Structures are given as C-alpha cells and as structure tokens.
Structure 1
C-alpha cells in the first residue's frame, strides 16, 4: 500500500512535469575526461594494445558500452570518437598517469578550442579528477584545490569558445572502489580526497553560475550519490557484489596497463569491472542519471500554481507514508 501511494505521487508529478518531452534537442555531444568516458582514444594511440581485447570492449575501459554511449543513445545521437576527447589516464592538468605521451584534460580542451568554435546547441561533458588522486600511488601529492581549479579552467575555456550547455560530473567515493576498500587506511584517505573534491567542485560551480552569462547552463551530475545508493542497497539495482571487481589487475603497475585474463565472473552482478572502472551495467545507470539530469535542467520555472500543486502532491505522499505502517 505504501509503495502504491508513493508511486502514484510520482506519477502525478510526471504529469505535471513531463520530463521526457522537455529534454533539449542537442545537435551533438562532446566529451572530455579520463577512462570513465574514453571510447577508444587510448586504444587508437596504442595501436590496439590498451585496453586489451576481449577483456575490454571496443576500446572502452569496461565490459560493454560506457555511460556516454548510453546517454548519446538516449538523446538520439551517435557518439563519434572524433567528438570524444577523453583519454584513459588523463588528470585534470597536463599529465597522463597511464602513458606520459598521452594528454591530460587541459590538452584535450586546448585541442578542441584551437580547432573549432563550439556549437552552442551541443552538449559538452567534463568528467575528470580520479587520476589526480590515483597519482598518489606514483609519488604524486593530490591537491583537491588544484584539481577543481583545473576543472573550472576547462569549463570556462569551453564557455569562452561558445559552449552553452556543460555537464560536469563529480566523483564517486573513491574509498569505496575495489582498489581502496580492502584497507581502512587507504579507504579513509581516498574518501577524504573524494569528499573534499566534491564539496569544492559544488562550491565552484555555484560561483561560476553567478559569474557567467545567465544563458550558460552548468549541469552538475552527482554520481557520488548514485554510487552510494547502489552500494547501500545493491539488491534494488540487481547487484550482488559491490566491493570486489569482476576481474582483477596488478595495481603496482600503471592503472590503465591491464593484463588480459579469462573472465569467470558474472558482470551483471558486479558494480565494478576492474578495481577502478564500473561494469557496463553500472555505466547504464550513470547514463540514465545523466539523461534525467538533462531533463530536469531543461524544465522551465513552474508557475506558482503548478509549484503549489507539486508541493501538495509530495506533501500528501509524505503524510500518508508516515500514517501507514511499513
């Protein structure tokens, strides 16, 4: 009964705010970042060596399509590699912890803005930062302030080039990823990195929204919250393992230098494909979250009457939920 009432409430809200209809019609999608979003750049740069097939799918650092593939499909677009500038191993600066010859985020952005003027009707995505903190294993000294500053610089460069709709993705709790969660000290360290990063990023994006032209649409994607929900209640998402990776690799080597191996696990039940990267099933959830965020970002300011109606619906649902025992 309780679930029925809550479902009815959200159905009413969906009638008030029909999100699917309100999604903006983008001309294209451009991607900047690291291996979470790389759809084949490292594979091409290494002549098909990294990430190795068949352990990894078509140049993705996963066992199937990644979140930007799913998002592009939901938007009715095709994600062309020529529009995906993300490289596995990229930091938010100019370094790449995988292969020094490959770019960091700043080179990715510079490569784009130096070659063209941004299409104001396209969607731009920035997701980076994980490798800034993984550099700790290679003698780096992670600094969330510098990392978020680099993300801010990347965003403002795109805006200056003509971009109008920019999605910026925060970080999952890195302390809960398989490379860290087996050791409490390591987990706590990377939890601190993640929380400090996300807090600073949120503050920075709020400031940029005030500073930039009102027409600039900054969409903050909260994957941290999604991962926390999945790990707290894996059954709701069809997972049985949220701590281990489906495959394993030697973290004493460069993170993207993953040895091939036979896969004996069921990836449909795992959140993580390797010690850092999600399975394609998890990527699909991220893509769905991103699509929902874009829909919400495209919803115009509701009238006062609609606002009161929406508030009333949620209030009624909340009241009934309290009255009905679990």
Structure 2
C-alpha cells in the first residue's frame, strides 16, 4: 500500500471514530441475571437487557449462561465439572461467532460475581478452612476487569457497562440464614473493590466509557420501600406468595423466585441506564407489554440468538500475545523512516493536518465526558423516582463521568 493510501485510510478511520456514537449493538456476558435462554431464563421476563435493547433500539447478542462464574479455573475441579461457560469462555464464544460488530456502535455488558462468591464460601466451608473467615475476593474482581481489558484489546471495545451484585440479604432464599453475615461482608467487599477498579480503569483511559450500575443499592432501596418505586412486594418471592393463591401482577414483585428478579425489577434496572443519559440521550421504557410484543415479533433484533455452550481454548490469550509480539516488532523497526527522505511539501501538510485531526478527535471525546460531568449530574432511575431526588434514592452516577479517586 502506498504512503498516500495509508495516510488517507488512517484519516478516514479517525473521522469515522469521532463521528460514530449511536448504539446499534449490545453484547452481554453474564450469569442467570442475564440469561435469556442459552441455558435457562430464570425470570418471567423480559430480562433487563432486553428492555435495555428496546430502549436503545439496539440488536442484542447475549452470551450469558445461568450459574456462570468469571473463570472456572479459579475453583476446584469438582465444583466446576460440567459447569456453565464462564465469562472467560463466553468471550471466546463471541470471538468464534465472528459477528464483525463495529466497536464504536457496540456496548459490552459484563455482569457476574455472585456465583463466584457463593462457590468460594462453600468451598471454604467444605474444606473446613476457618469457614467464618471471609475469603479473598480480589481474584474474582481481577478476573472480571481482565475480561473488560481483553474485550478492549481483541475487539476494540471502549463502551462498557458492568453491574455489582444484588443484595442477597433481601432475597427470600438467603435472608435470615446462618451464613447471612459472612455472605453480606463478602458481597460488600466485592462491590467496593469492583468500584475501585472501575474508577481506576476510567482514569487510565481517557476514551474509555465504563459505567458501574449500583444494582445493590437500587434493589436495597426498593426492598425497604417498594411502594415508592411502584412495587407491591420487595422481599418475598412471587412464587412463594402467589403460586395459585393470588391474582397479583407478577411485575409488582421484585423477586420472581427466591433469588431471581421479575421483569418489573429488570425494567427498573434497564431504566437506570436509559434515563442516565450516559451513553445515549436519556430515555426510558414505560411499558413491559410493549417490550414483550417487540420480542415476540419474527426475527426481532431485540431477541438474542441462542448460543451453544463452549469452553475456552486459550484463543483470546493467544491473540493478545500475538498483538504484543507484533507491537514489539514495529517498535524495533522505528528507526526506518515512514516518509521518504525528501517528502513533497503537500505530504508534510497532510501530516500536520492528520495530527491536528487526531488531536481534535481526542479533545472532542474528553469534552463530551467533561460536559456530562458538569451537565445533568446524577440521573434518576425512573420517572417515578425523579420526583424523589431530594431523598437520594435509586440514583445511578455513571462512573466514567466522575473524577473520584479510587
């Protein structure tokens, strides 16, 4: 390829990168809180990510599997034998699908961790290794952050959403059990550490948009005061209370079964992202009936394909190592001039113009982030909660819009 063509291609790439902003695709890696049918949907639905896809009018590609952990390799072989694909496995599944999604038009979602915490607690109790001591949570968080880094390196992704854990102290299954205190401490450590890593990663990469949705705080507030958020019941499971015994609307409950959420709770989570105006113009989804209708349409883009379970083979790591090797090779050959010894004046002008264009693009991205910081501030989770801002309830601050220290 000639030097002129290289300059032109790079210039067009920079222009396209600056111009692209709308969300056309959502790619999800997760566990049962996001599984729409790869293994088993654990909700009456729609799942929160399906509502999010409708709100953004984006195609959904969901690789989440119920019971997934981040990396099966972090646990004893007996506890992960025939286990669901973890987040690490799901990334390779996505790679092998070769969907060729434009990273500028794609938001990547990573939500997991609660199964990892449970396995760690049970593993310690089974081995009788001081089961009352809270195990080290950092390998789980490090794994999740590493998957986000891998998505950036392999797929060029720079728009991310991650969510912390649900408040199990308010779930019907785990409330008032002997392990409650230890589990809650582990969950709070996980959430605090995840927030630190998200803030640090945003500080390290000026063009990165990585938001942390505080699902734990949101669902805790709803459980304490469900009526304020438009729910009837925040602590009891719909199937425990209403199975053939009442005519309550299932979406008026937070909990569908004893650990999973209803479509109504999922709608509130989705609206927390939609109404924040974090990555798109603020909006919301008012009707779950409309979402269900759209999902049932033939070839609906809001309905993710079902993906077959596969375990990773190390392909993602090989690609990253190969890129590192090529980068080292390029750096070692930097002594060779990129331009001819006596370039034409117009080529010098193009060089200056390209530099200015790249600088302008970077400045534009930073300006957008700064504008969000000084603009709308904390976004309400739903139209209902907007009237209760002074109470500080149900609010989501996109972390990539803050200057907070970790």
TM-score, L = length of structure 2: 0.56
Q: Is the 8 A contact 2:113 2:165 kept in 1?
A: yes
Task: Label 1:182 to 1:310 Cα distance change in 2 as closer, same or farther (>3 A).
Answer: closer
The structure with more radius of gyration: 2
Residues 61-117 of structure 1 show CA distances to partners (whole Å, capped at 9, x for unaligned) of: 1012110010000001242xxx21100000111269787242111111122235546
SS of 1:243's equivalent in the other structure is strand
Aligned to 2:226: 234
Question: For 1:230-270, what per-residue CA distance to the aligned partner results, in whole angstroms no more than 9, with x for missing partners?
Answer: 1121111232322221125xxxxxxxxxxxx9554532332
Is 1:124 equivalent to 2:108 in the alignment? yes
User: Does residue 1:26 correspond to 2:7, yes or no?
Assistant: no
Q: 1:177 aligns with which of 171, 181, 189?
A: 171
Q: Hey, what's the Cα distance between the residues in 2 that align with 1:310 and 1:206?
A: 17
Pair 1:210–1:242, CA change in 2 (3 A): same
**CA distance, structure 2, for counterparts of residue 88 and residue 310 of structure 1:** 35
Name the CA shift for 1:131/1:296 in 2 (closer, same or farther; >3 Å). Answer: same
Number of aligned residue pairs: 253
Paired residues for 1:142-221 under 5 Å: 143-161=136-154, 162-183=156-177, 185-212=178-205, 214-221=206-213
Shift in alpha-carbon separation, 1:98–1:241, aligned structure 2, 3 A: farther
Shift of 1:193: 1.5
- Match of 2:216, SS? helix
Alignment of 1:281-296 (within 5 A): 281-293=264-276, 295-296=277-278
What corresponds to 2:352 in structure 1?
Answer: none
Q: Do the aligned partners of residues 86 and 99 (structure 1) sit closer, same or farther apart at CA in structure 2, a change above 3 Å counting?
A: farther
1:67 alignment partner in structure 2: 48
Task: Note the C-alpha offset of 1:271.
Answer: 1.0
What secondary structure sits across from 2:371 in the alignment? coil
| Conservation of the 8 A alpha-carbon contact between 1:219 and 1:297 | no
Q: What is the rounded CA distance, in whole Å, between the counterparts of 1:303 and 1:242 in structure 2? A: 33
Matched, 1:108 2:90: yes
Deviations 1:101-155 (A, max 9, x none): 4211111112223554663120110000111122257535754211101111110
Which residue pairs with 1:252 in the alignment?
A: none
- Offset at residue 196 of structure 1 (A): 0.4
- 1:11-58 residue CA offsets vs partner (Å, 9 max, x unmatched): xxxxxxxxxxxxx5212110000010111100xxxxxxxx4xxxxxxx
For structure 1, which runs of at least 5 residues remain unmatched after alignment? Answer: 1-23, 43-50, 52-59, 249-260, 312-320, 322-326
CA contact (8 A) 1:173 1:190 kept: no
In structure 2, what is the Cα distance between the partners aligned to 1:110 and 1:130? 22
Cα separation, 2, equivalents of 1:140 and 1:110: 30
Give the match's secondary structure for 1:153: helix
Are 2:24 and 2:59, in contact at CA under 8 Å, matched by a contact in 1? no
1:91 corresponds to 2:69: yes
TM-score, length-normalised on structure 1?
0.69
1:133 matched to 2:117 = yes
Q: 1:118 to 1:78 in 2, by over 3 A?
A: closer
